[in-house]
Every structure is written in C-alpha cells, then in structure tokens.
C-alpha cells in the first residue's frame, strides 16, 4: 500500500511538472531604484542643441522626481544659452536658465534604447536676457524643447543584456513609475 501511494505521488508530480512545462512563462518585472534611474539619465547630459539657428543651448544637470500616480518622471535641467552666428557678434554674453518637464519611458527595439515619450515642458526660463531675446525664448522655448526631447534616448541597453534576457525567453516590455523607482516588465518571447 505504501509503495502504491509513493508511485501515485511521483506520477502526480510528473503530471504537474509536465503541465508546467507546457504553460508559457508569464511576464516578470524588476525595479530600478530612483537613484539608479537618475544615474542612467545623467549619463546622457550635457546635451547641446541649436535654437532657431541663432542660439546655442547646453542642457545639463538633470534632477529627477517620480510621479507614480501619473506614471511620469519629472526632471529639472539647467540651461546655458549663448547667441551664435550674427546674433553672437552683436551680443557677447551667456545666459543661465532652466527647464522643468515630465515624460514617460518606452523601449525602442530598433536600437535597444529607452526613450522619452509624451514630453511636457512646464517651465522654460532664461534669466537676464535682453527684451529682444526674452519674449521669443519664452514663447518658443517650451515647444522647441518638447520637439528636441521627443523620443530622446535616455539609456541604451547593451547587446549582452538583451541576449541574456532573450536566452531566458524574455524581452523588455512596459515601463511603470512606482514609488521609489521604475518597474520594468519583461514579456515572454513568443516561440
């Protein structure tokens, strides 16, 4: 009788394991801390751009806070603005300012990058600019910043990171802002 029970248990365990093997793996997730996220974003700065072909803009020093409710990352950046070309001959001064924005994140498989999505600029200021420059900068700055930062790559995954995930049968999925960090879902790869 005892031997029959042991065989029944082993047979049941084999059935359970074979059923598990037939089930596709479910999504997995892990969390990147706010500090790790800030470090990853900081590696992409300083970042140089030209505004309206007359101003050189350097964007630097990202400071992030997380908004789990809105699934967004808030970032404040420092700006340095200097006239170039003809305007640079007339005005030989550099101006300081800042930009505040929020955005979500998404994975772009074509180049293995993590990119900003739905960028919203809430503040764009440059202090001490002449009146002739102040109004155009304040009026055009936010929309230009949104355009320049749309789909901006904040991080690129190394090929070996993706190969390891794919070796385990997963690929990057959804990014969710959670208290204290960023939750990254790994979705099963269809086989």
Helix, coil or strand: residue 14: helix
Q: What CATH topology corresponds to 36-154?
A: Bactericidal permeability-increasing protein; domain 1 (3.15.10)
Res 25 pLDDT > 80 = no
Measure the CA–CA gap between 56 and 40, rounded to whole angstroms. 25
The H or E element containing residue 15 is helix 2-22
What is the band of 149 on the pLDDT scale with cuts at 50, 70, 90? confident
Domain ranges of the chain: 36-154
Q: What is the mean pLDDT of the chain?
A: 78
Percentage of the chain lying above the pLDDT 70 cut: 79
pLDDT at 7: 38
- Mean pLDDT across 62-75: 95
What is the band of 46 on the pLDDT scale with cuts at 50, 70, 90? confident
Is the sign of the CA dihedral 84, 88, 94, 96 positive or negative?
negative
Alpha helices in 24-169 (DSSP H): 34-42, 85-90, 131-149, 159-167
Measure the CA–CA gap between 88 and 189, rounded to whole angstroms. 54
Going along the chain, which residue ranges are E strands?
28-33, 47-51, 55-67, 72-83, 95-108, 113-126, 153-156, 170-178, 181-188
Is the sign of the CA dihedral 157, 160, 161, 164 positive or negative?
positive
What is the band of 65 on the pLDDT scale with cuts at 50, 70, 90? very high
pLDDT at 3: 39
What does the pLDDT look like over 74-120, one tens digit per residue? Answer: 999 998 877 776 554 456 688 899 999 999 999 898 888 889 999 99
**C-beta of residue 138 within 8 angstroms of C-beta of residue 124:** yes
Measure the CA–CA gap between 155 and 107, rounded to whole angstroms. 10
């Amino acid at each position: 009788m005892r031997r029959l029970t042991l065989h029944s248990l082993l047979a049941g365990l084999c059935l359970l394991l074979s059923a598990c093997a037939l089930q596709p793996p479910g999504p997995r997730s892990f969390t990147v801390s706010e500090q790790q996220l800030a470090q990853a974003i900081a590696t992409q700065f300083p970042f140089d751009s030209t505004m309206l072909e007359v101003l050189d803009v350097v964007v630097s020093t990202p400071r992030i806070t997380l908004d789990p409710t809105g699934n967004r990352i808030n970032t404040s950046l420092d700006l340095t603005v200097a006239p170039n070309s003809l305007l640079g001959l007339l005005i030989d001064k550099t101006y300081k300012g800042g930009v505040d924005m929020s955005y979500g994140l998404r994975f772009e498989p074509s180049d293995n990058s993590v990119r900003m999505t739905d960028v919203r600029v809430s503040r764009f200021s440059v202090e001490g600019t002449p009146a002739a420059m102040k109004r155009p900068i304040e009026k055009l700055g936010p929309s230009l910043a949104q355009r320049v930062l749309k789909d901006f790559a904040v991080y690129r995954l190394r090929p070996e990171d993706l190969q390891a995930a794919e070796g385990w049968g997963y690929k990057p999925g959804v990014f969710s802002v959670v208290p204290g960090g960023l939750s990254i879902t790994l979705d099963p790869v269809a086989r």
